[in-house]
Amino acid sequence: MTDPTLGELTVGVEGLALLRLLRADDHGAARAARMAETRDLLDRLGRDPALQGSLGVELDLREGYARWAETYDGPLRLFSVEEPPMERRLGAWPAGAVLDAACGTGRYAVRLAGLGHAVVGIDRSPDMLERARAKVPGGRFLEGGLTDLPLPDASVDAAVCALALVHVPEVAPAVAELARVVRPGGRILVSDVHPVLVQLGWQAQFATGAGRAYMRLHRHQVTDYAAAALAAGLVVRGAEEPALTPEAAVTPTLELVPEATRAAYVGLPGVVIWEFARP
């Protein structure tokens, strides 16, 4: 079996755009444009080297984040839709000891420290942790995974886990670990890549000096997060599904078929955000 190509992805994006335009009012011209562009793409698939290129090499989490650490603060495409609702909720928390689980390069550790929290950051990537420590010198940063947090029970007042649960096969063990380390009365704030995007083939993509690379994402249903929280004894305090904007709808097809890329993705749910409380 061969790896998927940029051409195949582009044809798929055209098809998704056409489906989303089928019942839209006054979009006859747009549908005609999608059909014409698709015919042209199909004609070029076998002879255009650009369309035959690979979508990237797949890396495991350790190697992937080691390579991605240099450019992770980009910012990434989903940050613009994920950060405003996350920051609004974080701003309502009283100052305390807060865990940034799968902290990466310290994107939320910096925000938490700025809000007056004592920060504990945990990540599996030493390269990411090195950058987080440089950003938050007063924080405590430890190497560890989402399903084996190196913290005692009930040792923090709250926890944040941003765009990371897509990297674990099952949500429940990670949510149970977050619940374990948070004290009674504390909050847990989780954001993740929306399962709609994962179903449509989105991966953790990034550029390297040798070309595109990606880490495979696990698809979790929206209800999986709530079910995992309830099983861990948590209470749901809020949920949001911010939609993709034109700025966030960035895929390898954007330069080739910008209109189709926007028509395919803009308005789809981009991330899912849950806020839980530990009674």
Q: What are 116-143's pLDDT values in tens digits? A: 999 999 999 998 899 999 999 999 999 9
- Quick one: 190 and 79 in the same domain? yes
State the Cα–Cα distance between residues 70 and 127, nearest whole angstrom: 9
**Could you give the number of structural domains in the chain?**
2
- Quick one: 129 and 209 in the same domain? yes
State the Cα–Cα distance between residues 268 and 279, nearest whole angstrom: 33
Say whether the peptide bond before residue 75 is cis (omega within 30 degrees of 0). yes
User: The tokens of 109 are what?
Assistant: 């550790």
The amino acid at residue 110 is: V
Q: What SS3 class is residue 92?
A: coil
- Quick one: 72 and 185 in the same domain? yes
- Quick one: 45 and 105 in the same domain? no
Question: Whole-prediction pTM value?
Answer: 0.92
State the Cα–Cα distance between residues 11 and 52, nearest whole angstrom: 12
- Quick one: 47 and 185 in the same domain? no
From the CB of residue 153, how many other CB atoms can be counted at a distance below 10 Å? 9
Let me know if residue 185 belongs to a domain: yes
Task: Tally helices (H) and strands (E) across the chain.
Answer: 10, 10
Q: Where are the alpha helices (DSSP H) in 50-168?
A: 61-68, 79-90, 107-114, 126-135
Answer yes or no: are the C-beta atoms of 86 and 191 closer than 8 Å. yes
- Quick one: 40 and 82 in the same domain? no
Residue 28: per-residue pLDDT: 86
Q: What SS3 class is residue 122?
A: strand
State the Cα–Cα distance between residues 112 and 162, nearest whole angstrom: 13
The CA–CA distances, whole Å, from 261 to 160, 218, 272 equal 32, 23, 21
Q: What are 23-80's pLDDT values in tens digits? A: 887 778 999 999 999 999 999 998 998 898 888 887 777 777 777 777 777 668 899 9
Whichever domain contains 169, its CATH number is 3.40.50.150
Say which DSSP state 74 is in.
S
Q: What are 143-184's pLDDT values in tens digits? A: 999 999 999 999 999 999 999 999 999 999 999 999 999 999
- Quick one: 82 and 219 in the same domain? yes
Per mean pLDDT, which of 196-205, 208-217, 239-248 is the most reliable?
239-248
Let me know if residue 260 belongs to a domain: no
- Quick one: 78 and 24 in the same domain? no
pLDDT, mean over the chain: 92
More confident of the two residues 53 and 233: 233
**pLDDT at residue 90 greater than cutoff 60:** yes
Domain holding 36, by residue range, is: 6-52
Let me know if residue 81 belongs to a domain: yes
- Quick one: 179 and 272 in the same domain? yes
- Quick one: 44 and 65 in the same domain? no
**pLDDT at residue 94 greater than cutoff 80:** yes
- Quick one: 77 and 185 in the same domain? yes
Residue 62: per-residue pLDDT: 78
More confident of the two residues 2 and 35: 35
CA angle 224, 87, 92 (to 5 degrees): 95
- Quick one: 177 and 196 in the same domain? yes
